[in-house]
Amino acid sequence: MNEFDVVVVGSGAGGMAAAITAAADGLSVVIVEKAQQWGGSTARSGGGVWIPGNDILIQQAPADDLESARKYLRAIVADDADSGRIDAFIDRGGEAMRFLTDHSGLDLEWVRGYCDYHPEQPGGRAAGRSCEPKPFDARVLGADLATLQPFYTRTPMNVVVQQSDYRWLSTGFRHWRGPARMFRVAGRTALARIRRQRLVGLGSALAASLMVGVRQAGIPVMLGTAITELSTNGDVVTGVELSDGTSLAARRGVVLACGGFDHNPALRARHHRAPAGPSLSLGASTNTGDGILAAEKIGAATDLMDDAWWAPSIPLPKGPWFALAERSLPRSVIVNGQGRRFMNESLPYVEATHQMFGGAHGKSSGPAENLPAWLIFDQTYRDRYMFAGKPARAPLPRSWFANGALTTADTVEELATTLGIPPANLIQTMSRFNAAARKGVDDEFGRGISAYDHYYGDVTNKPNPSLGEISKPPFYAAQMVPADLGTKGGIVTDANARALRSNGEPIAGLYAVGNTSAAVMGHTYAGPGATIGPALVFGYLAARHIAGTNLVIQE
């Protein structure tokens, strides 16, 4: 059969949400996936879901309300995204989550205390609005388990962890919750082995639970199948052309949910500044912008192409390590090639990378102003905290030093000389930073003021969980590079996820969600899971619009 009501391109969160919803409305659906594995960048991610007002938050975090979430999102996004899309996301998010939970294996819980990324902004919430999947027994997937896209790297200690675990695992034995979480993770792992379960967590758990819904709905998934262009009849999209020379007809609509252009060297060079690019992207390797390019070819408008879901990372030999907690822990500081601080090191990762580029999100002539950059820390840091998945005190692999990702020296002056940093500048920076750490107040960049700064800090460290003196040799420097979790730029869409032309007119039969669409978050990031949350919601809304049910009202 080469004709369906709906053709969904991509098998990440947005694609599976659209497919499950369309099938529940009685439409015939197929998922086309370029990779030989399903799950896309969703399966490679932390699996967080930021959808205000969903049933889990109502039950577990009842102080939240939709108007606060709306005020918050509008405050941080400003004019970088259409207000109608923001309203649709806020107003329909809980509905979408409820539907997908009822029609798949989705089982989420609130990540208590995982702050919104800008909690001090109007409507921001220090207690957090993020949910995450519970560990999932992947045996239910049967043969599909073998083709699940793997997580981007090994999890710490190579066990199944949750986001709520990682915060405490990173600080080791500094707080009683550290060993408590270790025992909890160990117990979970041991019990799973006794029960012969195949537990997966994080993004793998989220993708797997959605695939349960796909299979229950009888939706075929075509792996290893790329699209080359969109089929049209006049101004209406009628299907897709495939790389094997065949085509699929779509009677009602095509949903592009095939990721961004993470691994397209030409597009990355055109829109992003070096050293950002495919080699530093943590997105699925098959994300080469196929959907964006195909839509552009028939007149779709694009936006936010100069930005990405940036992730300050350490370029380890086997690939970038996303430095999430490492930047916020005391006894660490980030400096540029002149040996100067240039930001609050604990900033949310998109904003932190913008600062690495010199404060701008987009492309400009010349090099990025604050690159190269290094995360500098001391032996006390290593004795206390996990680093790049290695427990405190554990030896760091020699290969990390051999490839230049890490450097060590007995003195700050020697470290500066090795890195090519003016020694006097680095010594002055360290002296000023250490004075701030003793006082507990960072007068220069305000590190430790925001509740978000403290989430990955050390609550036992006084007087400020985010600040600590860097004084015990040897000293270490980890190179920091602008990696990304995927690109932000894509097809301009409306509140129903319809693809739009530059004049604002919708392209009949074409929809875009997830990283194939321009992010509803604009140039910022609301909180943990603010990539996947909108993908799920707009995947749901796209399918509802195609089916002609529950339409979003356009003013």
Exposure of 76 in the CB half-sphere (CA atoms within 13 A): 28
Q: Which of 333, 400, 334, 410 is nearest to 371 (CA)?
A: 334
Mean local confidence (pLDDT), 297-303:
98
Check: CB of residue 499 under 8 Å from CB of residue 534. Answer: no
3-state secondary structure 99-118: HHHHCCCCCEEECCCCCCCC
Q: What confidence score (pLDDT) does residue 177 get?
A: 76
Angstrom distance (rounded) from CA 200 to CA 158: 11
Tell me the per-residue pLDDT of 93-103, one tens digit each, with 9 for 90 and over. 999 999 999 99
Handedness of CA 295, 299, 301, 306 (dihedral sign): positive
Which 3 state secondary structure label does DSSP give 335? strand
Tell me the per-residue pLDDT of 171-192, one tens digit each, with 9 for 90 and over. 777 877 777 777 677 777 777 7
Mean local confidence (pLDDT), 299-307:
97
Rounded to whole angstroms, what are the CA distances from 142 to 103, 212, 215, 350?
Answer: 19, 10, 11, 37
Mean local confidence (pLDDT), 477-489:
97
Tell me the per-residue pLDDT of 104-132, one tens digit each, with 9 for 90 and over. 999 999 999 999 999 999 999 999 999 99
- With a CB cutoff of 8 Å and minimum separation 6, the contacts of 377 are 329, 331, 332, 333, 470, 475, 476, 478
Mean local confidence (pLDDT), 286-309:
98
Averaged confidence pLDDT in the chain: 93
Which has the higher per-residue pLDDT, 11 or 62?
11
Check: CB of residue 39 under 8 Å from CB of residue 63. Answer: no
pTM for the whole structure: 0.95
Check: CB of residue 92 under 8 Å from CB of residue 537. Answer: yes
- For residues 400-430, b (16+ Cβ closer than 10 Å) or e, as one string? beeeebbbbbeebebbbeebebebebbbebb
> Lowest-confidence range among 198-202, 207-211, 380-384?
198-202
Rounded to whole angstroms, what are the CA distances from 535 to 34, 162, 187, 344, 514?
Answer: 18, 21, 33, 30, 4
For residue 74 the two structure tokens come to 């509008």
Q: Is 515 a residue whose pLDDT tops 70?
A: yes
For residue 527 the two structure tokens come to 């909180």
- Dihedral pair phi/psi, residue 402, rounded to 5°: -65, -35
The proportion of the chain whose per-residue pLDDT surpasses 70, expressed as a percent, equals 96
For residue 540 the two structure tokens come to 């749901």
**Confidence at 554, pLDDT banded by 50, 70, 90:** very low
Listed in sequence order, the DSSP H helices in 103-175 are: 163-169
Angstrom distance (rounded) from CA 38 to CA 221: 9
**Confidence at 555, pLDDT banded by 50, 70, 90:** very low
Question: CB-based burial of residue 238 (10 Å sphere; 0-12 exposed, 13-18 middle, 19+ buried)?
Answer: buried
Angstrom distance (rounded) from CA 45 to CA 311: 12
- For residues 472-494, b (16+ Cβ closer than 10 Å) or e, as one string? eeebbbbbbbbbbbbbbbbbbbb
DSSP symbol at 177: H
Q: Is 11 a residue whose pLDDT tops 50?
A: yes
For residue 270 the two structure tokens come to 């055109």
Domains in the chain with CATH codes = 1-157+198-309+486-549 (3.50.50.60), 313-482 (3.90.700.10)
Mean local confidence (pLDDT), 447-453:
96
Tell me the per-residue pLDDT of 389-433, one tens digit each, with 9 for 90 and over. 999 999 999 999 999 999 999 999 999 999 999 999 999 999 999
Q: Is 1 a residue whose pLDDT tops 60?
A: no
Q: What confidence score (pLDDT) does residue 115 get?
A: 95
Tell me the per-residue pLDDT of 369-387, one tens digit each, with 9 for 90 and over. 899 999 999 999 999 999 9
Tell me the per-residue pLDDT of 21-74, one tens digit each, with 9 for 90 and over. 999 999 999 999 999 999 999 999 999 999 999 999 999 988 789 999 999 999
- With a CB cutoff of 8 Å and minimum separation 6, the contacts of 343 are 334, 352, 355, 356, 370, 445
DSSP symbol at 516: G
**Confidence at 168, pLDDT banded by 50, 70, 90:** low
Tell me the per-residue pLDDT of 213-269, one tens digit each, with 9 for 90 and over. 999 999 999 999 999 999 999 999 999 999 999 999 999 999 999 999 999 999 999
